[in-house]
Amino acid sequence: MDRLFLRVYLHIFAGVLLAGLTAQAFVIPRINAQLARNIEASFAVPVALMAEMFEERYSQYHDFGGPAERASKRFGVPVAIIPRAEALLGDAAFGRLDGGEVVRAGPVFESVLYARIEGTGHVLQVGPLPLMFPLGGARGAALFLLFVGGLSLGVFALLRPVRRQLLDLRRTAEALGKGELDARAVVGSRDVIGALSTALNHMGEELQRSIAMREELLHITSHELRAPTQRLHFGLALAREAVEPDEREHAFERVERSLEELEQLIDELLSYVRLKGRRAPAGAAVDVRPVLAALCETLTIVPGRAAIVAPVPCAEPLVVRVEARLVERATSNLILNALRYASSRVQISLTREGRAIHIHVDDDGPGIPLAERERIFEPFHRLDDGRTEESPGFGLGLAIVRRIAEVHGGSVAALGSELGGARFTLSFPV
C-alpha cells in the first residue's frame, strides 16, 4: 500500500518536472521575448534623448568629453560611446540602428541598448542594465521548496483518507477470503472508493446468501434423496423375500418406480442448480402465443381429472425477448401444478399491460392460503404433508418457475382465481 502512495508522489513530481521542462522549452522563451520588447520600448525614449545630448555636445566641441562617465556614476548603469563597428549587433539590428531606432541586444536580464549618434561614426551603448530575475538565487530556491512542501502536504491530506479506505477494503477482502462472510467495508465517501466499498459489501452479502442457500439446499437434498433410496432398499428386500413370481414382479415394479422418482428428483435438482447460476440469456424475440398453443395441445394428453382450456387466439403479437425453451418449461410447470390440484378445469390466458406480458394459469382447485403464496416458490416447499399418488412432486417446480422468470427480468406471483382456486401469473417484459 505504501509503495502505491510512493508511486503517486513520484508521478506527481515527475509531472511537475516535465511541466517545468516544457515551460523552459516553449513558454519561457516567449515570455523572455515579450520582456525584451518591453525593455526596448521602455528605455527607447531616455536612451534616444541621451544620444541627442551627446550629438549636440559633439556638434559644439567635436568631442564627447566626460558626460558618459558622469552618467555611469550618477545612474549606476554603464554608459559608453563606442565605434559603430564594435556594437554587438546583427545585420537586421544594424539596419534598425541606422534607421534611428534604439536597439536592444544580449540576454533579457543583461540587456544592452544601442542608439546612433548622428553625424559621428559612434553609437551610444547603455548597459548591461541592472535587471534581476524575480525568482533567482535564494529567493527562487526558497519559493521552490515552499511549493514542493505545500504540494506534498496537499497530496498527503488528499491521499490519507484514500489510503485508509483502501486498507479497510483489503482487510475486508482478506476476511471474506478466510470465510468471515459477515465482514463488511466502511463506506466513508461517495466517490469511486465508496462505490467500490459498496460493491464489495454487496458481493459479501450475495456470497453469504449464496452459501446459506447452498447449505440449505444440500441439507434438504439429502433429506429428499433419503425417501426414494429407502423405498429402493425396501423393494429389493421384498424381491429377495418373494416366493411367488407375481410377488417378485410386484416388488421389482416398486423398485422401478423408485428409480424413476429418483431420476426425476436428480433432474429437477440439476435444472434448479443450473438456473441459479445463470445470467439473463441473449434470447431471441419470441411470440408467446404459438408457444402456449403448442404446449396446451401437448399437455391435453396428460391423464387427469381436469380439462385444459387454451388461451383465446388474438391478432396482436405478444413478443418478448426470451429463451423459448425456458419459458415453455416454466409454463409447463405451472400447468402441471394446476392439473395436480384442479377439480375439473385449468384455464390459460394471455394479457398485456404496458411494457409487460402476463401468462395466467387458473384452476378450480382448493386454492392457496394467503400465508403460503410466497413460500410455495421456495425450493422443496409443498403445501401437502408429503408426496402421494394424488399429489406427487418434489417442491422444485415452482422454484424453477421463479428462477426462469428472474433470469429474464420477469416475475411470478400466486393469487386467487375467479374459478375458485389458484391463479399463477408469469410476467415478462416486452
| 244-290 pLDDT tens trace | 788 778 888 878 877 877 777 777 777 666 666 555 555 567 777 88
pLDDT at 415 over 70: yes
Decide if pLDDT at 12 tops 60. yes
DSSP reduced 3-state for 145: helix
Per-residue pLDDT for 38 more than 50?
yes
Asked if 318 and 350 count as a contact pair (C-beta separation under 8 A), the reply is yes
**Phi-psi region at 126: left, alpha or beta (left = phi > 0; alpha = psi -120 to 50):** beta
Read off the pLDDT of each residue in 186-211 and give the average, rounded to a whole number.
80
The answer to whether 81 and 125 are in contact (CB under 8 A) is yes
Whether 172 contacts 187, CB under 8 Å: no
Which of 387, 393, 336, 389 lies closest to 365 in space, CA to CA?
A: 336
pLDDT band at 100 (very low <50, low <70, confident <90, very high): confident
Euclidean distance between CA atoms 177 and 172, whole angstroms: 9
With cut-offs at 50, 70 and 90, classify the pLDDT of residue 424. very high
pLDDT in tens, 131-180: 766 655 566 667 777 877 787 777 777 777 777 887 888 888 888 888 77
How confident is residue 389, by pLDDT bands cut at 50, 70 and 90? very low
Q: Which domains does the chain have, with CATH numbers?
A: 2-126 (no CATH), 283-429 (3.30.565.10)
Do 425 and 415 contact (CB within 8 A), yes or no? yes
**Mean pLDDT (whole number) for 94-105:** 81
pTM: 0.48
pLDDT at 278: 53
- The long-range contacts involving 217-223, CB below 8 angstroms and separated by at least 24 positions, are 217/273, 217/379, 220/379, 220/380, 221/269
* pLDDT value at 391 more than 50: no
The dihedrals phi and psi of 412, each to the nearest 5 degrees, come to -140, 140
